[in-house]
Structure 1
Amino acid sequence: MGEQLSFDLPVRAALGREDFYVAPANAQAVAMIEDWQGWPSRKLVLVGPPGAGKTHLTHVWASLTGALIIAARDLAEADIADLARGPVAVEDADEIAGNAPGEEALFHLHNLTLAEGHSLLLTAETAPNFWPLALPDLASRMQATTLAHLRAPDDTLLAALLMKLFADRQLSPSPEILPYLARRMDRSFDTARRLVATLDATALSTGRPITRAMAAKVLDKMAE
């Protein structure tokens, strides 16, 4: 995949998953994941919009550390003592706010994991100070956690994401499509996924290849 890129872009592989492209929008977060042994207080919150790569980087970290991964919504039913025997990653931690059993479970997991000398990674769409946590002790611990941000995609990352999304669908659009789309689409990961899916469906329904003219029509329709 990397050899097909028309720009010099480093690649990270994630536990049998697709390549992870490093660009200015995510370089700080990737560096923090790779330097996990240097996290202050051995904990980190990875913050970014949907589709930004939080789950992908969580799996990268798990492959580096041997960590277990659990969704925040499952914490209330989990064996916290068992989880805390090694590094732990909690996905979508912000979704636990207002769920009393879940908040209690995360509070105990946080304390026990760190007390055992292990590291804790959490992912969320927003920073902990925006989570409406009801448990004050949990809120203070989350707000004291170092943050790593996955930013909105720049041109390089957006083009790489589009290339990957097309390749996932075994599509080969004309060469000018990637820069054309990257310049004109809304700059978000979710938009990239919807755009490629719509282009794929349009090409299938019309029996035509994906061209700049087709891309222009799809972009106009999505903007309505």
Structure 2
Amino acid sequence: MAGANAIASNAHRPPMQLALALDHAESHAREDFLEGPSNAAALTLIERWPDWPSRTVLLRGPEGAGKSHFAAIWARQAGARILSPRMLESAADVPIALATGALVLENLAEGDFDENALFHLLNLAREEHAFLLITARTAPTGWRIGLPDLASRLRALPGVALEAPDDALLRAVIVKLFADRQLAVDEGLVNFLANRIERSFAAAREAVNRLDQEALRLKRPVTRALAAELLR
């Protein structure tokens, strides 16, 4: 009888509202790029192409700092392919990767690539005068690399770093992240978030995602009050 009562009780309980983790389109167009002191050097590098200090350069920065946006802008300018290092499984893949004379090797990370293939890529790019833009979260100076020649080549690459955003850029990024989700937010909410999260693009992305998901779950608008409850 107790079991029947429990079933009856559950039958009258409203169903739980689940927020779906949907992908949101993020524009990588040049006109949607947000400029600031933290990315000025990288923007100068992209815009001065093909007048680069070297035909192979390294663009590094933390997660969400805009490396993919920079890469997409340059790829359109240079007619470059965008490739994950994992797709270079052997030296035989390298000529195809450089077929257009320009390549973005995106998100290079320690221990996550075939050393022989990457070494061949760097050599062939130099021989064929191809352009190569490598993006990474960290500089390869401290990476453990088995091939000594590859290690020295990576450590000698010229490039630029993306730094933490200043207050103005962080606020602009928060607005853009909401806009990518088709959410219009007021200045009070933007300032509230900017003053309470870590000053990084990754933290801004995480805060906007959490707030959007919580608003969907509770069927409430995205407001400063909701943000205060979530970040309490």
Question: Which TM class, normalised by the smaller chain length?
Answer: 0.7 to 0.9
Give the CA deviation at 1:18. 7.7
Q: Percent identity?
A: 48
Aligned mate of 1:164, from 173, 176, 182 = 176
> SS in structure 1 opposite 2:37?
coil
Structure 1 position 211 matched with structure 2 position 223? yes
Residue of structure 2 equivalent to 1:4: none
Contiguous gaps of at least 5 residues in structure 2: 1-26
User: In the superposition, relative to structure 1, how do residues 202 and 18 fare at CA in structure 2: closer, same or farther (>3 Å)?
Assistant: farther
TM-score (norm 2): 0.81
Distance in 2, matches of 1:208 and 1:82, equals 50
Residue of structure 2 equivalent to 1:121: 133
Supply the AA of the counterpart residue of 1:73. Answer: R
Supply the AA of the counterpart residue of 1:206. Answer: L
Structure 1 position 83 matched with structure 2 position 91? no
User: In the superposition, relative to structure 1, how do residues 206 and 93 fare at CA in structure 2: closer, same or farther (>3 Å)?
Assistant: closer
> SS in structure 2 opposite 1:152?
coil
Structure 1 position 108 matched with structure 2 position 120? yes
Give the CA deviation at 1:150. 1.0
C-alpha contact 1:42 1:114 (8 A) present in aligned 2: yes
Give the CA deviation at 1:133. 1.5
The root-mean-square deviation of aligned C-alpha atoms, in Å, is 1.9
Residue of structure 1 equivalent to 2:157: 145
Supply the AA of the counterpart residue of 1:146. Answer: P
Supply the AA of the counterpart residue of 1:92. Answer: N
Supply the AA of the counterpart residue of 1:87. Answer: A
Distance in 2, matches of 1:150 and 1:177, equals 26
Aligned mate of 2:44, from 31, 35, 39 = 31
User: In the superposition, relative to structure 1, how do residues 98 and 67 fare at CA in structure 2: closer, same or farther (>3 Å)?
Assistant: closer
> SS in structure 2 opposite 1:92?
strand
Give the CA deviation at 1:90. 0.7
Distance in 2, matches of 1:98 and 1:197, equals 28
Give the CA deviation at 1:207. 3.0
Runs of 4+ in 1 over 4 A off after TM superposition: none
Q: How many residues align?
A: 204
C-alpha contact 2:86 2:112 (8 A) present in aligned 1: no
Distance in 1, matches of 2:173 and 2:63, equals 14
C-alpha contact 2:61 2:163 (8 A) present in aligned 1: yes
Q: Deviations over 1:5-60 (max 9, x none)?
A: xxxxxxxx845x88111111111111111113222231110001111111111111
C-alpha contact 2:85 2:112 (8 A) present in aligned 1: no
Q: Deviations over 1:131-155 (max 9, x none)?
A: 2211111111111111211111211
Q: Deviations over 1:96-127 (max 9, x none)?
A: x375xx11111111111121111111010111
> SS in structure 1 opposite 2:195?
helix
Give the CA deviation at 1:160. 1.4
Distance in 2, matches of 1:143 and 1:212, equals 45
Contiguous gaps of at least 5 residues in structure 1: 1-12
Residue of structure 1 equivalent to 2:69: 56
Distance in 2, matches of 1:58 and 1:23, equals 17
Structure 1 position 68 matched with structure 2 position 60? no
C-alpha contact 2:102 2:132 (8 A) present in aligned 1: yes
Supply the AA of the counterpart residue of 1:132. Answer: R
Give the CA deviation at 1:199. 1.3
Supply the AA of the counterpart residue of 1:32. Answer: L
